[in-house]
Chains A and B, each alone.
Chain A
């Protein structure tokens, strides 16, 4: 690492902890070190993070697959990781001057994701969303999901607090509030919800488990196993993602991880994102 890179890293690290009295964590330049802890942290503010090595992951333009991103936005995502031998937690933080979590037709939300090979083998699949028959597992967090999970109503009043709506079909006088019949009516004219599209519907978990076998193939995982939460403060996001260790990954072993960040105000969505290549990930063990 040259002097300029070190200076950038120092700035990034100091920006992460501006205004707080917490101890700065040690740096891990070459890899993400998942340290072993008996209990995983449950928030981004847990004091464990003060001693977990921080890897400043440089973000690259996703300019290989259509639709491409050609103008950069977020430069770094700061990565810390902890494992308890069964699950692995990541604390991801990055600078973002705008909080984008509103659901308008011309608005896009901030988001972050981590990607791991579905099978832990010596050769990893292509970092761009994996390859056919060599899937990657993606843990995706969205600021819009987070706002809804935090209790914001998932409706037009999120954007226009004074909006007046005459009538929705599920508000018919014949439908008892909260009844199964009313729930059914609310879904009838929301086909994505009826079809259980994981993008749709009320959310309590701001995190999605996804699988991909190449660009354009992302699909929901069979089971939702991950969770987490994000918080916006001091001009940036800090997001906790907790997921099971991938198949074949053992405490004390190694695998790979990659990250992506979407800047909502820059209309980043889907493949229009800032992303990393594979980054080595070492998994701490109890010994």
Chain B
């Protein structure tokens, strides 16, 4: 095993191959606070890539209801359980979130899926994982909208339900695609080297000519985003809609456009981009790139289960209403700071949050033009001030894609159409 630096866990870790980083990395931010589980992303992906024979169980993009839901069933609980068994009571973080790009969330002192020697067996010596059963793939929406019980009453449903306006229960929607990890477990596990990470954009692909369907990748991927296809007898995975990212889709006009799941998001929770990488695998400073800003400046977007060790490139703005210990387990130690900043956004964050889903084009840079103060009031014990700033998005070619304002334009339906729906 080689030693590589994983900045999300703030330390060196073991990985079967030497570190190699793309020039730019496919990455995305999902704002969980906005997700309504409409499954538009799910169906956009399904109807584009996985609606053929043999792909019936495949959902490269899915939205599951946490804490009970999962596709495949209980995927994250099972991986966490394997790691806990490998390193009982020691899967902890130390240190504190800081400005250091090499350890922004402190340090994970436990074991990753590449390091859990106690549980790694000779027949699966590279990555700790498990192979889901057929049945576990079959119910992508299982436990949808199931809340947990009352506080302190474990393993029971709430007998009286919930009375508005106070929610005594919690759940949230977790939208997922392949994380196109910087240290992909699927790639590490493939005995045929049939999986590769593209140097130009970090997209991880399974070579459909080379794969022989051994499913070591399915076993190894902790997010379970490689999937076996029975009638071609090989595995497939999310391809990050690479023709769109390359600007080769007929609708793209030669410019990179976001994936189908991103652009179909009516909840406007998703933004996808291509971030510049340093040679050491950290993100190169790109102050006015919206993803760089959300992950490294505002620090409101956090990686999903960074402790698994794959350095996933999907980042989430954690839901404000969910118990913090659950969120810390899912997104690491940056959760408290992220929720604090998201709940009390500063002027720049408020503007950048308006960039979500105004265009299908991938944003490479933004610029803010200051506008007038439009609102001032106390909120949750703090004074907030809102300015109607204009945020301008630029594409790869440096040209403006769109501009939008913090205050959404107000359209009043003309009187003659008032009841015309």
A residues whose Cβ falls under 8 Å from a Cβ of B: 63, 66-70, 103-108, 144, 154-156, 158-159, 163, 165, 167-170, 186, 189-197, 199-201, 215-216, 218, 267, 269-272
Contacts and interface: CB of A to CB of B under 8 A. Distances in A.
A215 B231 CA distance: 25
B53 A272 contact: no
- B interface residue count range (under 10 / 10 to 19 / 20 to 34 / 35 or more): 35 or more
A189 B49 contact: yes
Contacts of A144: 233
A215 B216 CA distance: 15
Contacts of B229: 192
Contacts of B231: 103, 154-155, 190, 200
B227 interface: yes
A105 B134 contact: yes
Given A105-B57, A105-B228, A67 B234 contact: no
A190 B212 contact: no
B53 A168 contact: yes
Contacts of B50: 189
Given A195-B208, A197-B234, A216-B191, A156 B126 contact: no
18 contacts: A103-B230, A105-B57, A105-B215, A105-B227, A106-B132, A155-B53, A156-B56, A163-B56, A165-B56, A170-B52, A170-B53, A189-B51, A189-B52, A189-B55, A195-B209, A215-B191, A218-B192, A270-B191
A192 B232 contact: yes
B191 A169 contact: no
A201 to B, nearest CB: 7
Contact of B134 (A67, A107, A154, A218): A107
Contact of B213 (A69, A167, A199): A199
Q: Is the interface of A mostly helix, strand, loop or mixed?
A: loop
Nearest to B190: A216
A105 B29 CA distance: 30
B121 interface: yes
B163 interface: no
B123 interface: yes
B283 interface: no
B125 interface: yes
Given A192-B209, A270-B212, A199 B134 contact: no
Contacts of B53: 154-156, 168, 170, 186, 190
A106 B224 CA distance: 13
A267 B131 contact: yes
B133 A106 contact: yes
B230 to A, nearest CB: 3
B362 to A, nearest CB: 24
Contacts of B298: none
Shortest Cβ-Cβ A-B pairs, 9 listed: A103-B230, A189-B52, A200-B232, A270-B214, A192-B232, A104-B134, A191-B208, A105-B228, A199-B233
A168 B52 contact: yes
A103 B227 CA distance: 13
B75 to A, nearest CB: 13
Contacts, number: 126
A269 B284 CA distance: 42
A193 B134 contact: no
B121 A70 contact: yes
Given A68-B122, A69-B123, A70-B121, A103 B233 contact: yes
Given A68-B123, A199-B211, A168 B232 contact: no
Given A103-B233, A197-B234, A190 B191 contact: no
Nearest to A190: B232
A239 to B, nearest CB: 18
Contacts of A163: 56
Interface string B227-264: 11111111010000000000000000000000000000
A193 B209 CA distance: 8
Nearest to A166: B51
A195 B213 CA distance: 15
A192 B227 CA distance: 14
Contact of A105 (B191, B212, B230): B230
Given A106-B132, A190-B54, A216-B192, A200 B230 contact: no
A133 to B, nearest CB: 19
Contacts of B124: 67
B52 A67 contact: no
Nearest to A270: B214
Interface string B124-151: 1110000111101100000000000000
Given A106-B132, A106-B133, A269-B215, A167 B191 contact: no
Contacts of A66: 122, 125-126, 191
Contacts of A155: 53-54, 231
Contacts of B192: 216, 218, 270
B193 interface: yes
Among A103, A186, A201, chain B packs the most CB atoms within 10 A around the CB of A103
Interface in B184-234: 191-193, 208-216, 218, 227-234
Given A106-B133, A197-B211, 9 more contacts: A105-B137, A106-B132, A168-B52, A168-B53, A169-B51, A191-B232, A193-B232, A215-B191, A269-B213
B46 to A, nearest CB: 11
A98 B278 CA distance: 53
A272 B208 contact: no
Contacts of B208: 191-192, 194-195, 197
Contacts of B209: 192, 195-197
A199 B131 contact: no
A225 B134 CA distance: 35
A70 B122 contact: yes
A105 B122 contact: no
B234 A186 contact: no
Contacts of B214: 67, 269-270
